Amino acid sequence: MVLIKLKITLTKERLALLVGAGLAFFGALQLVRGFTALFAPVSNDYSEMMVAGMAQQLWATGRLEYIYAPPAAPYGLPGVQYPPLFIALTSLLIKLSGLGAVLVARLLAWSGYAAAGGMVGLLVWRETNHRRIALCAAFFPFTFWSVLIFINGARPDPLALLLSLLAVYLYRGGSSFVPVSAGLTKQTSYGKIEPGKLAVVALVLVLAFYSKQTYLAAGAAIFFDLLLTSGRRLQALFFAGCYAVLALFGLILCQVLSNGAFAGIFEPERAGRFIFHLAPAMVGFFLRDHAPLIGVALVALFWQWRQRQRFWSLYLFFAALACSSIVKDGAVDYYFNEVAYLLSIQVGLALVLFLDFKPSPTQNPKSKIQNLILALVGLQALVAAGMFVVWNQWRDNDNFSEIYSQTQALVREYQQSGKPALIWQNNFLIETNQTDLIGDYFIYWILLGNGHRAIYPFLSDLETGRYDLILVGSPEFRRWPPVLDAALQEHYKLELLSGKDGSPLYWLYTRR
């Protein structure tokens, strides 16, 4: 018998690839499971229902103004709170594919998340020229809670995120910048950025803004990076001018196509309440479960800053600043997703910068930093394994499927019988082909509460018992003004419709 002995030298580079691949493995599993969850029949997400419903209405009517000021919605409910690009693309795909609005919107959003992960890999590859670590980094974002929880939901955010990262890739590409991995040269940039290239970058960023209006961080980072770089201040002004002109053109176009209704999404009264008391818990939740990756990313950013490579620090700063939007009433932790993707880029950079770095004989090999990075990424891989085991996107479907079907049957019964009912759960209006009645009831409640909508029409209908049934979704968002709450208690009987675990899903009011 011949014994063959294989001797494998486990270098730091191989260890980096091993721990990176371990973390990427669980990210890939979550990405695939998120795709399967696109086909879950239960649709309860507030934003998803607005996006899908208004895309369906745009497809049916061809009138952009109706998605911002739906004429048939009761009590003048406002329409969707987002710019039109994602909704218009969803509407187009509904027409081309023949699939349902919810599924199409989910598929488009999931594709945005996945493609943005691909952009993470391309950016790491561009900055380090290390293909294997770049491939691993492409899956790192799918180990963050804020991405996992919403990866199977229909939102415009992933399209805006993808466009932002694409703009950054175009900006950082070519010969205009030294890659991060070459930062030891103490040189941050060289060559000239062509005006046409800056104009294209500005155009892509404007498209990101008209997908979701909170995606401004990439543009701010590019502007200040140019402004702070010697010899490029005029280019900063040119870039800002291109962005402003294109954004203004987009605003005029949206206003014209929507018959003046589009600008309403920027009314400050629509964010009249704030959830400062909930924000610390959201931030703490993000920091706690992803502390290892955050630590690695901060080490990489500190090193880059010391080497006069400032762009990624600026971008992460502005993205973190944008997370302040979570204090707006109703905003939740998907606002952290841009930060999650940027942290993933930095972890990929760190694995190359510190573990594939060949120091000269006079330099410190930085073995302590190397070991720390390996340990932290390995620890996050273990956390990611636990996340995959204990939670999945099908949980809500399994918990609420029975009560969902029963409530949908009830809504259909009222629709077919002609009994007066007020349905403020938009997925059932989509299911029963009543998309013309869809409106943003959540924003309507805020406007009622701060006095920017007349309360009397709704109050009068409650006092006269106009509706046999009132169905309200998202109980945690319920914001009845006290006078309406009193009228409901006096004239209607409340029943909470709950999932298998006892958590309430719908509020069902029936006339006394």
Q: What residues does each domain of the chain span?
A: 12-42+81-357+364-390, 395-511
Strand pairing report for 421-424 and 492-498: unpaired
* Residue 239 burial by Cβ neighbours in a 10 Å radius (0-12, 13-18, 19+): buried
Do 65 and 79 contact (CB within 8 A), yes or no? no
Do 304 and 312 contact (CB within 8 A), yes or no? yes
Q: Token match 């636990």: residue? A: 386
State the pLDDT at residue 353.
Answer: 82
For residue 511, which phi and psi values (nearest 5 degrees)?
-65, 135
**pLDDT tens across the length of the chain (512 residues):** 444 444 445 566 778 888 999 999 999 999 999 999 999 887 767 788 899 999 999 998 999 999 999 999 999 899 998 999 999 999 999 999 999 899 999 999 999 999 999 999 999 999 988 899 999 999 999 999 989 988 988 999 999 999 999 999 999 986 556 666 655 444 444 456 888 999 999 999 999 999 999 899 999 999 999 999 888 899 999 999 999 999 999 999 999 999 999 998 887 776 655 566 666 767 777 788 899 999 999 999 998 888 888 999 999 999 998 877 665 555 556 778 999 999 999 999 999 887 755 444 444 445 678 888 889 999 999 999 999 998 888 877 778 888 888 889 999 998 888 889 999 888 888 888 888 899 888 888 888 877 778 888 999 999 998 999 999 876 555 667 888 888 988 999 999 888 888 888 888 999 98
Q: Closest by alpha carbon to 69, among 512, 443, 478, 506?
A: 443
Q: Which amino acid is at 405?
A: S
State the pLDDT at residue 478.
Answer: 63
Three-state DSSP state, 266: helix
Q: Hey, what's the torsion of the CAs at 38, 44, 45, 50, to 10 degrees?
A: 100
**Residue 84: which residues within 8 A CB-CB, separation 6 or more?**
64, 67, 210, 254, 257, 258, 262
Three-state DSSP state, 189: strand
State the pLDDT at residue 4.
Answer: 46
Q: What's the pTM? A: 0.90
- Cα separation, 162 vs 208, whole angstroms: 8
- Cα separation, 396 vs 43, whole angstroms: 9
Q: Closest by alpha carbon to 255, among 78, 83, 90, 87?
A: 83
For residue 423, which phi and psi values (nearest 5 degrees)?
-105, 110
**Residue 316: which H helix or E strand, with range?**
helix 311-322
Do 58 and 85 contact (CB within 8 A), yes or no? no
- In order of 41, 398, 410, 425, 485, the CA distances from 501 in angstroms are 18, 10, 22, 21, 27
Three-state DSSP state, 37: helix
- Cα separation, 205 vs 315, whole angstroms: 13
Q: Which amino acid is at 187?
A: Q
Core vs surface per residue 435-445: b (16+ CB within 10 A) or e: bbbbbbbbbbb
- Give me the DSSP letters along 431-492: HTT-GGG---HHHHHHHHHTTSS-SHHHHHHHHTT--SEEEEE-GGG----HHHHHHHHHHE
Give the single-character DSSP code of 84: S
- In order of 116, 127, 369, 424, the CA distances from 75 in angstroms are 39, 53, 61, 12
State the pLDDT at residue 400.
Answer: 83
Q: Angle between the 12-36 and 367-390 helix axes, to the nearest 10 degrees? A: 20
Q: Which amino acid is at 149?
A: I
Do 333 and 285 contact (CB within 8 A), yes or no? yes
Q: Which amino acid is at 344?
A: S
- Cα separation, 435 vs 432, whole angstroms: 8
Half-sphere CA count of 83, side-chain side, radius 13 A: 20
